[in-house]
Amino acid sequence: MGNEVEEGESLISEVAEKPAENPNPRSVKTKVPEVEVHLFRSGKGPIDVFRSGLSGWEQNQLEVQDILDKYGFKSLYAFNTSSGRGVPIRFNARNGRSILTYTDGSVIYVDGEPKDSMVKPVTKIFIGVAVLTLLIAVLVKETPQWFKNSWFKNAKFPPWVLACAVIVFTRMRKRTKDMLKKFGW
């Protein structure tokens, strides 16, 4: 009985040591075509050098949208270190892949145009509110007669509220026009 236990333990240890091999593998490992990308920002750099896999049906298209999202660019351009920025790299808006094709092992130089920051428009709005507030405060010393006779006669608006209302109205009108065009109105 002691031999049977020892034989059983030795069989279990042999099975545990050998991983089970799949005789019918369902996937085939193939080499994914890649290009080496030298990435510049506004002609300065390179800020990064990396390998990017090619994709698409024939695996010869660059994933442009991924590069734009990762580095915060609004557009990519072909780049030459001696002559500078070239033509824009066009891509399909639906899948984010380049229109031009690339070969496996290519080295490409790309220049990215950074996205505009939100600081500039916000600063312009605050400066506009300040200027309009000063103009209203300096030019209007007393309430006009037509304003006293209107239904606003009991309400008193500080000049900065009026300036904000004017700026918000003009900004919304421009954005609404763009939005209506976007939805086909």
**Which helix (H) or strand (E) element contains residue 169?**
helix 159-182
Q: Which residue bears the tokens 């050998």?
A: 18
Q: Is the pTM of this model over 0.95?
A: no
* C-alpha pair distances (Å), 50 with each of 36, 39, 47, 110, 179: 6, 8, 10, 11, 38
Neighbours of 45 (CB within 10 A): 16
Q: Please state the domain extents for the chain.
A: 34-114, 119-174
Name the band, by pLDDT with cuts 50, 70 and 90, for residue 143: low
pLDDT of 35-88, one tens digit each?
Answer: 999 999 988 888 999 999 999 889 999 999 999 999 989 999 999 988 888 899
Answer whether 34's CB lies under 8 Å from 107's CB. no
